Amino acid sequence: MTTVNTNNQVSQDLLNSVNTRNSASTTDETQDRFMTLLVTQMKNQDPLNPMDNAQVTSQMAQLNTVTGINKLNETMSSLIGSVQLGQSYQATSMIGRNVLVEGKTLTHTESGGYFGVNVPNGADGLTVAIKNGSGATIRTLTFGKQDVGVNALNWDGKMDDGTTAPSGDYTYEITAKTGDTTVKSTALSLAQVQSVTTSTSGAKLNLSNNTSVAIADIQEIF
């Protein structure tokens, strides 16, 4: 039995075809579903009480809006994928390079170790407390004026008593001051890029200190 639309408004099924979201539906499927329901409704409308042209026009405009948004989303997804792939290829060129990233670990060899500090507003002086695995301070380093931004620093591997510290991993705390006021500073660890991992969130650099960072997290490259 054929159902006849006896009012002058677009049916709720037709409205739902435009407004209902289905993650598995494509833009073409949405258009096809809308046109099929519209044609069916027009065939079965009451000749004495036809559909309101304004209602049909309004729904067609909504369909165009939904279609445009869907196509924009598809284009943006493709663009993001291309950018992420380009980042991954670019990141592979950094394998084997040394980088400064946020952290408080320091690897000491026979010749000491390197690290850094980021001082956004600069500083008149810098104090660095190097600590062993037990948390005891074995050496206190003092540095003079630090420029605005990233500054590379080094430790000669000596302890406060003048002897050489055993090779291994250490931690450190940095205090930057301008006059008598402590200013903002961020400790930076030096590590080597060993490999690159790609994911939906972008490329990740796997470092020699067993951490992974995004390209944007790198403060300086050597």
Residue 171 and residue 105 in contact, taking contact as beta carbons nearer than 8 Å: yes
Higher pLDDT: 190 or 2? It is 190
Going by pLDDT thresholds of 50, 70 and 90, the confidence category of residue 207 is very high
Q: Which pTM was predicted?
A: 0.62
Instruction: State the Cα–Cα distance between residues 59 and 57, nearest whole angstrom.
Output: 5
CB neighbourhood size of 92 (10 A):
13
pLDDT digit string, tens, across residues 139-198: 999 999 999 999 999 999 999 999 999 999 999 999 999 999 999 999 999 999 999 888
pLDDT at 170: 95
CATH code assigned to 98-221: 2.60.40.4070
Q: What is the 3-state secondary structure (H, E, C) of the chain?
A: CCCCECCCCCCHHHHHHHHCCCCCCCHHHHHHHHHHHHHHHHHCECCCCCCCHHHHHHHHHHHHHHHHHHHHHHHHHHHHHHHHHHHHHHHHCCCCCEEEEECCEEEEECCEEEEEEEECCCECEEEEEEECCCCCEEEEEEECCECCEEEEEEECCECCCCCECCCEEEEEEEEEEECCEEECCEEEEEEEEEEEEEECCEEEEEECCCCEEEHHHCCEEC
Instruction: State the Cα–Cα distance between residues 53 and 9, nearest whole angstrom.
Output: 9
pLDDT of residue 218 exceeding 80, the answer is yes
Higher pLDDT: 16 or 132? It is 132
pLDDT at 3: 45
pLDDT at 110: 75
Nearest C-alpha neighbor of 164 from the set 176, 156, 172: 156
Domains of the chain: which residue ranges? 12-92, 98-221
pLDDT at 5: 45
End-to-end CA distance of the chain: 78
Residue 104 and residue 189 in contact, taking contact as beta carbons nearer than 8 Å: yes
Kindly tell me the burial class for residue 79, based on how many C-beta atoms sit within 10 Å of its own C-beta (0-12, 13-18, 19 or more). Answer: exposed
Chain-wide mean pLDDT for the chain? 79
pLDDT at 154: 93
Going by pLDDT thresholds of 50, 70 and 90, the confidence category of residue 46 is low
pLDDT of residue 59 exceeding 70, the answer is no
Going by pLDDT thresholds of 50, 70 and 90, the confidence category of residue 99 is very high
pLDDT of residue 7 exceeding 80, the answer is no
* Residue 144: φ, ψ to 5°: -80, -150
